[in-house]
C-alpha cells in the first residue's frame, strides 16, 4: 500500500471512531467554561463593617465587626501612624532623607518604581505611601525607621496592642499577598476603627489622605509618576477627606473612610467586599447612616446679657442728688437748730420769771 492510500485509510478510520463516540470523548479539545472568580474571604456586600463617632469612639453601626479578614494595603495606615508619632516626638523630621535599598526597589504591586540608591524626603515618601499606596515606598520607609522590614513589623504589632487592636496581627509592611511559608495580615473592622481614631489625632494625617493627585519626582520628567488616589469617595461624598483603601484577591476590597459635616466627624470601615463599586457604595451609605445616628448636641447656653448702666456721677453731684447721702447731714443740722431754740426759749422764760418776781 503506497503512502497516499495509507494516509487516506487512517484519516477515514479516525473520522469513523470520533463520529461514533459520545460527546464527552473529545471534551478535552473543546473550550471549557472559565473558572469561577475566587473571592477569598470577601463577601457580598462585605465581610464586616463598623461606623464610629470620631470624637467619642461610640459605635453608631456595626455588622459582624469582629469577623477577621485581611486588610491588604489599608495596613499602611499603621505605617503612617508610627512615622507621624516619631515626627511629633522629634525622633525624625519630615525632611530626613529616605534611601532606597535593592530589596525595596524590587517590591511589586502598586509602586512608584523606586531605584536602588535613590533618596527622597520623608514627606514625599509619605505622599507616595498614602496616595499611590506604593509598596516599594512602604519597604523603604520601614527600613529607614527600624533598619529592616521585619523589625518594623514588630513596631506595628506593638502599637496595635497598645491601641487595643486585640484581633490584629501584622506580617508585612505593605499588605501584599503572603509568599510561600508566610501568613496573611489579619484584622477586624472594629480594630481598624481604633487605628483610624488614633490617626485623626495627628494633623498631618488628613493632609496626606485627602490628596487626590500628586506628582512623584516632579523634577525628573522622564521618571515622574503622577500618583492618583485609590479612594474614589474623595470629592464624591460630602465631607470625605480620608483615609485608605486596600485590595488583594484573597482579601477583597476594603476601605477605611472618614468625613466631616457641620463640625462633626464619623469613621466607617468596610472590610472584604467582593466588588469595588459595592464597597464604595456601602461606605458612602454607612457614612450617611453614621451622621444620622449621631446624638443631637445640647443647645448652646443662652448668653448672659448685662444691663446697660449709666456712668456713675461725680462724688459731689452724687452727694447733692442722692437723698440717702444727704440724710445724715440734714439730721445733724436739725439737731443744732433744736438745741439753739431750746436755749433761747429757756433764757427768755427765765428773764420773764425774774422780772415778774422783781428779781430784776
Q: Is the pLDDT of residue 125 over 70?
A: yes
Q: What is the pLDDT, as a whole number, of residue 338?
A: 58
Q: What is the pLDDT, as a whole number, of residue 341?
A: 64
C-alpha cell read off for 226: 503622577
Window from 23-27, 174-178, 224-228, 247-251 with minimum mean pLDDT: 23-27
The angle at the Cα of 68, spanning 62 to 70, to the nearest 5 degrees, equals: 110
Whether residue 244 lies in the annotated active site: no
Architecture of domain 48-293: 3-Layer(aba) Sandwich (3.40)
Q: What is the pLDDT, as a whole number, of residue 96?
A: 98
Q: What is the pLDDT, as a whole number, of residue 354?
A: 64
Window from 127-136, 297-306, 343-352 with minimum mean pLDDT: 343-352
Q: Which of 76, 144, 244, 282 is catalytic?
A: 76
Whether residue 158 lies in the annotated active site: no
Using 50, 70 and 90 to split pLDDT, how confident is the model at 350?
low
Distance CA 312, CA 124 (A): 65
C-alpha cell read off for 222: 522622564
Q: Do the strands 264-273 and 252-261 form a parallel or antiparallel pair, or are they unpaired?
A: antiparallel
Q: Tell which residue, 256, 260, 267, 266, has the closest CA to residue 239.
A: 260
Q: Mean pLDDT across the stretch 308-318?
A: 58
Q: Tell which residue, 254, 223, 257, has the closest CA to residue 240.
A: 257
Q: What is the pTM of this model?
A: 0.75
Distance CA 90, CA 71 (A): 29
Q: How far is CA 206 from CA 83, 209, 250, 287, in A?
A: 14, 5, 29, 17
Quick: pLDDT tens for 230-240: 999 999 999 99
For the chain, which residues make up each domain, given as ranges?
48-293, 328-360
Q: What integer best gives the mean pLDDT of the chain?
A: 85
Q: Mean pLDDT across the stretch 185-190?
A: 98
Using 50, 70 and 90 to split pLDDT, how confident is the model at 301?
confident
Distance CA 231, CA 212 (A): 8
Give just the sign of the alpha carbon dihedral 44, 46, 51, 54. negative
Whether residue 110 lies in the annotated active site: no
Q: Count the neighbouring beta carbons within 10 Å of the beta carbon of residue 157.
A: 15
Q: Which of 48, 68, 73, 282 is catalytic?
A: 73
Q: What is the pLDDT, as a whole number, of residue 305?
A: 65
Using 50, 70 and 90 to split pLDDT, how confident is the model at 335?
low
Using 50, 70 and 90 to split pLDDT, how confident is the model at 308?
low
Q: Is the pLDDT of residue 256 over 80?
A: yes
Q: Which of 48, 68, 110, 133 is catalytic?
A: 133
Quick: pLDDT tens for 196-216: 999 999 999 999 999 999 999
C-alpha cell read off for 134: 506604593
Q: Is the pLDDT of residue 348 over 90?
A: no
Q: How far is CA 213 from CA 6, 74, 132, 207, in A?
A: 71, 18, 9, 12
Residue 247's H or E segment, with its range, is strand 240-248
Window from 46-60, 82-96, 297-311 with minimum mean pLDDT: 297-311
Amino acid at each position: 500500500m503506497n503512502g497516499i492510500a495509507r494516509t487516506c485509510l487512517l484519516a477515514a478510520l479516525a473520522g469513523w471512531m470520533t463520529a461514533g463516540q459520545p460527546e464527552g470523548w473529545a471534551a478535552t479539545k473543546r473550550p471549557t467554561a472559565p473558572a469561577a472568580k475566587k473571592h477569598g474571604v470577601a463577601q457580598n456586600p462585605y465581610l464586616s463593617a463598623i461606623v464610629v463617632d470620631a470624637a467619642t469612639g461610640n459605635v453608631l453601626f456595626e455588622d459582624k465587626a469582629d469577623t477577621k479578614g485581611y486588610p491588604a494595603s489599608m495596613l499602611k495606615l499603621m505605617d503612617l501612624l508610627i512615622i507621624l508619632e516619631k515626627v511629633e516626638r522629634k525622633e525624625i523630621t519630615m525632611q530626613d532623607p529616605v534611601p532606597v535599598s535593592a530589596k525595596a526597589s524590587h517590591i511589586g504591586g502598586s509602586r512608584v518604581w523606586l531605584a536602588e540608591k535613590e533618596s527622597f524626603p520623608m514627606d514625599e515618601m509619605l505622599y507616595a505611601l498614602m496616595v499611590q499606596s506604593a509598596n516599594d515606598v512602604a519597604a523603604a520607609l520601614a527600613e529607614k525607621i527600624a533598619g529592616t522590614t521585619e523589625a518594623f513589623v514588630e513596631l506595628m504589632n506593638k502599637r496595635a496592642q497598645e491601641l487595643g487592636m486585640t484581633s490584629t496581627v501584622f506580617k508585612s509592611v505593605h499588605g501584599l499577598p503572603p509568599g510561600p511559608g508566610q501568613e496573611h495580615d489579619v484584622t477586624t473592622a472594629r480594630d481598624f476603627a481604633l487605628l483610624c481614631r488614633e490617626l485623626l489625632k495627628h494633623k498631618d494625617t488628613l493632609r496626606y489622605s485627602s490628596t487626590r493627585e500628586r506628582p512623584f519626582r516632579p523634577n525628573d520628567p522622564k521618571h515622574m509618576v503622577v500618583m492618583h488616589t485609590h479612594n474614589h469617595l474623595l470629592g464624591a461624598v460630602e465631607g470625605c477627606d480620608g483615609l485608605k483603601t486596600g485590595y488583594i484577591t484573597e482579601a477583597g476590597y476594603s476601605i477605611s473612610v472618614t468625613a466631616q459635616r457641620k463640625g462633626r466627624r464619623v469613621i466607617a470601615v468596610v472590610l472584604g467586599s467582593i466588588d469595588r463599586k459595592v464597597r464604595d457604595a456601602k461606605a458612602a451609605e454607612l457614612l450617611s447612616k453614621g451622621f444620622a445616628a449621631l446624638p443631637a448636641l445640647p443647645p448652646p447656653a443662652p448668653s448672659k446679657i448685662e444691663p446697660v448702666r449709666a456712668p456713675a456721677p461725680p462724688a459731689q453731684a452724687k452727694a447733692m442728688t442722692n437723698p440717702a447721702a444727704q440724710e445724715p447731714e440734714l439730721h445733724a443740722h436739725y439737731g443744732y437748730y433744736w438745741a439753739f431754740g431750746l436755749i433761747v426759749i429757756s433764757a427768755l422764760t427765765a428773764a420773764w420769771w425774774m422780772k415778774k418776781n422783781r428779781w430784776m
